[in-house]
């Protein structure tokens, strides 16, 4: 197992490493991937390599960051999931942790965002000191809004991010673990 942070049924979630440059370029050079985020597909593999360097600085500084998702069966890099802390101030939030995810288009619609998305709050609320995690999605990003609700995030408000309407969701440790955490049988 290649330094897994989290293992799911079909994937391993691990740190992004410099050799993921080609995979990150495949991901971020596709305008369809950027339809509801950033809207700036990358144009060179060097840009993707710089992104990996920046994310690896977050690992060193705060212990988390967006993590690579790799298929167990083939070792293929299919995208990323995971947390960002203290990103740019948005929606009147300046000190927050958010869950994000992004996958190569060939792998959409196969349940990978849901499978890895649910594994992330599970990991955070059992291994990291986070009490609340946010999620943000463009109001027109049907799949992402659906996934956030499905993995236990509750609607908070609508706000403008770069002049584009977004929904803000959040989930808190106790309520998330009540709904999705490991269940123990009551002792009789």
Task: Residue 62: name the closest of 130, 155, 137 by CA.
Answer: 130
Dihedral class, residue 75 (left if φ above 0, else alpha if ψ from -120 to 50, else beta): left
The tokens 């927050």 sit on which residue?
96
Find the binding residues for ligand COA in span 30-49 (CB under 6 A): 33, 36-37
Nearest CB to ligand COA, comparing residues 31 and 187: 31
DSSP, collapsed to helix, strand or coil, labels residue 125 as helix
Tell whether residue 133 is a contact of ligand COA (CB under 6 A). no
Rounded distance, CA 171 to CA 121, Å?
9
| Site stretch for ligand COA (CB under 6 A), options 2-10, 58-66, 125-133, 139-147 | 139-147
Tell whether residue 173 is a contact of ligand COA (CB under 6 A). no
Nearest CB to ligand COA, comparing residues 35 and 184: 35
Question: Which positions touch ligand COA (CB under 6 A)?
Answer: 33, 36-37, 101-103, 108-114, 137, 141-144, 146-147, 150
């Amino acid at each position: 197992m290649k330094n897994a942070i989290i293992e799911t049924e079909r994937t391993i979630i691990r740190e992004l490493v410099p050799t993921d440059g080609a995979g990150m370029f495949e991901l971020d050079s596709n305008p369809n991937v950027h339809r509801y985020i950033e809207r700036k597909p990358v144009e060179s593999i060097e840009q993707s390599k710089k992104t990996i360097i920046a994310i690896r600085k977050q690992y060193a500084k705060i212990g988390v960051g967006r993590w690579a998702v790799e298929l167990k069966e083939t070792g293929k890099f299919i995208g990323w999931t995971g947390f960002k802390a203290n990103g740019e101030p948005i929606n009147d939030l300046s000190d927050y942790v958010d869950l994000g995810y992004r996958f190569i288009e060939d792998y959409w619609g196969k349940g990978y965002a849901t499978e890895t998305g649910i594994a992330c709050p599970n990991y955070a609320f059992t291994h990291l000191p986070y009490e609340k995690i946010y999620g943000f999605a463009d109001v027109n990003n049907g799949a992402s809004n659906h996934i956030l609700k499905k993995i236990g995030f509750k609607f908070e408000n609508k706000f403008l991010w770069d002049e584009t309407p977004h929904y803000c969701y959040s989930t808190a440790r106790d309520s998330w673990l009540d709904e999705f955490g490991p269940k123990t049988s009551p002792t009789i």
